[in-house]
Chains A and B, each alone.
Chain A
Amino acid sequence: MSKAIELKNSSFKKNLGPSLSRFFFLFSIAFVFFALILWIFGKNPFRAYVDIFLNTLGSTYGISETLVKMIPLILTALATAIPSRIWLINVGGEGQFHMGAIVATGVALNLNFLPGWILLPVLIISGFLGGGLWGMCSGFLRAKGWVSETISTLLLNYVAILLVSFLVFGPWKDPESANYPQTAEFGEAAILPSLGQSRVHLGIFLASAALCGFYFVMSRTRWGLEMRAMAANMEAARRNGIPLEKYFLILMLIGGGLAGIAGMCEVSAIQGRLRPNISPGYGYMGFLISWMAMGNPWGIVAAAFLLAIVTAGGDILQMTQGVTGSVVNILLALILFVVLARQGIIRGRK
């Protein structure tokens, strides 16, 4: 297939991939294998699944908690999906998430005299900039041709996570919270409001807006077209005068920024303060969601929903079955295996 035709056909909407029922079939394979593994290690797989689904989808509270987990997952998925439109591989959602949380915390602790209607937008912007500039470092290294963004984002993850530990054990430690490594609690004005009684917060609108914006830009604007051209053939795009380096920087800024907003939401709406372990691997899961969805906005929502249930499943299994919470990593991996293995064959047949 020639590049020109491919460019036309790979229009954004047609990238739906296999139908929903096929996906359910695939997931059931993963679930069966996970049940098998649980069974081998002497747990009751049926009880495990009943526990997971009852606690996540069986009640309004469970559903709202699943939604709460979906917010950061959608944002970190976009952090990978947006740069991946031009084959930039951003594995740094985790680090960008933490940097967003750090900068937002810094602002929330130091500007606590501001009223909420000024402070909250400032917080969102600072979270965006924290994650975005962190991502842009990798974009810069790539644009200069020095370090591949895959490696640099991966390494910067660890630096950002350690920076959080440094801050909450050191300079930002709240003297009042005895031995707990955490910052002081945010003021009332710095808390992102929740919807009703649930923990679902305004971040859900930010995530939805980001998704819509992503879809709109990719399918309806000149930038989207230029990005599709770059994805199809970098060299041709360069010769047509598309500024590649600028795209590297800006897409990493936007991608990292969205992950940063996810981090900001986590500290502002859920935790109310910065502490270590604010993320159970949201950044990495976002990366995998983006690959599962192949960049399709609806796919991102569906995959985020599934992985939100799986993430919650870890805590649930730890409580009800007495297994280590890491066990859900197996389920997560199995789901990805079946999806990735299937995608590979589809691409291969082209």
Chain B
Amino acid sequence: MMLTAISSLLVGAIHSGTSLLYATLGEVIEERAGMINLGLEGVMLMGAVCGFVTTVKTGNPALGLLGAALAGALFNLFFGFLVINRRANQLACGLAMMFFGVGLSAVIGAPFIGSKIKGLNEIDIPLFAEIPLLGPVFFRQDLLTYAVIPLSLIVWWLLFHTRFGLNLRSVGENPTAAFAAGKNPYFLQYQALCLAGVLGGIAGAHLSIALAKTWQEWMTAGRGFIAVALVIFSKWHPLWAIAGALIFGGAIALQIQLQALGVPISSFLLDMLPYLLSLGILAIWGGKRRAAAPGSLGRVFQGTE
């Protein structure tokens, strides 16, 4: 009994954690390039709805994923136009992008509420999936879940072991210095936004194509904001983000589990858990982590004219 509860808790943690991790990785890349994007919620919603609609229309979840990634990237490029070319305030623009995403996704998705899709199916890894208890947890998941850990490694390698990553981080720390060193801060920031949009779109699509297999208005329910907090929690580091996403996914899953076990706690109080947990963890570790933040996060490179 206890063991099955734990194993289903783990399954839940991985389910909820996966989409959080995709979103967090994207936000890490953006923030490393000096841009804080509160519009992540909107990106995820656009990814969720575009992925779902494409899947309904074509019947192919792979094309759905592609659509989600494209939608996310386009959405983020628009954010880039506002904050990079028009030099608008990033926080206000991010919130505006969130509203934009909520509205646009609702309109696009309205005719598709209640549509059924086959979605991304779970794939068993032969032999391993038969391991009692742990097998289903780790080896009976959908493709996106398998891909996410290698992807974190790739993002880590990209940010810290390639020239591109070095340039990106230099823009996040000090765009003027990067400019003086012959880099183009605008171009690098656009590249970061593009990557982040792809990841954010996939994060949303994971919710709509792989987990829920339906579309409903505002189905991300604040996960975008949790991902923004997760970035701080993970010290702007893609590998710490894995641990963070698991813990937060676990908090979401714990809530569902306790509900299923009939523990007499209001579900609304349990729903607070992820938010309070993130706040608590930030408060305990936050002071030390501020030093890890990219130097010119949230500032706009004003150019050299």
Question: Which residues from chain A sit less than 8 Å from chain B, CB to CB?
Answer: 37, 41, 89, 91, 141, 144-148, 150-152, 154-156, 158-159, 162-163, 165-166, 169-170, 284, 287-288, 291, 323-324, 326-334, 336-337, 340-345, 347-348
Contact = CB atoms under 8 A, between A and B. Distances in A.
B86 A284 contact: no
Contact of B275 (A41, A150, A159, A291): A159
Given A155-B275, A336-B96, 8 more contacts: A145-B287, A155-B226, A166-B268, A166-B269, A170-B266, A284-B95, A337-B82, A340-B86
Report which residue of B87, B98, B103, B222 has the largest number of chain A beta carbons within 10 angstroms of its beta carbon. Answer: B103
B268 A165 contact: yes
A148 B87 CA distance: 23
Given A141-B283, A348-B303, A162 B106 contact: no
Contacts of A162: 268-269, 271-272
Contacts of B97: 333
A331 B269 CA distance: 34
B135 interface: no
A110 B31 CA distance: 48
Given A284-B99, A329-B103, A146 B272 contact: no
A145 B287 CA distance: 6
A22 to B, nearest CB: 15
Contact of B91 (A150, A327, A343): A150
B106 to A, nearest CB: 4
A58 to B, nearest CB: 24
A55 B222 CA distance: 32
B24 to A, nearest CB: 14
A344 B79 CA distance: 13
Contacts of B136: none
Interface residues of B, number: 48
Interface string B176-207: 00000000000000000000000000000000
A184 B88 CA distance: 46
B88 A323 contact: no
A91 B36 CA distance: 14
B145 interface: no
B283 A147 contact: yes
Interface in B117-134: none
Contact of B217 (A41, A326, A333): A326
B161 interface: no
B286 to A, nearest CB: 4
B96 A337 contact: yes
Nearest to A346: B87
Contacts of B218: 326
A327 B107 contact: yes
Q: A-B pairs with the 9 shortest C-beta distances?
A: A329-B103, A333-B100, A344-B87, A326-B106, A330-B103, A166-B268, A341-B86, A344-B88, A336-B96
B96 A327 contact: no
Interface string B201-232: 00000000000000001100010011011001
A169 B269 CA distance: 11
B241 to A, nearest CB: 16
A310 to B, nearest CB: 10
A144 B286 CA distance: 10
Nearest to B39: A333
B300 interface: yes
A149 B234 CA distance: 18
Nearest to B96: A336
Interface in B72-114: 82-83, 86-89, 91-93, 95-100, 102-104, 106-107, 110
A3 to B, nearest CB: 16
Contacts of B228: 151, 154
A178 B218 CA distance: 28
Contacts of A340: 82, 86, 88-89, 92-93, 96
A146 B268 contact: no
Contact of B107 (A37, A148, A151, A342): A37
A95 to B, nearest CB: 10
A163 to B, nearest CB: 7
Contact of B300 (A144, A332, A344): A344
A152 B225 CA distance: 11
B106 A344 contact: no
A32 to B, nearest CB: 16
Interface in B276-305: 276, 278-279, 282-284, 286-287, 290, 300, 302-303
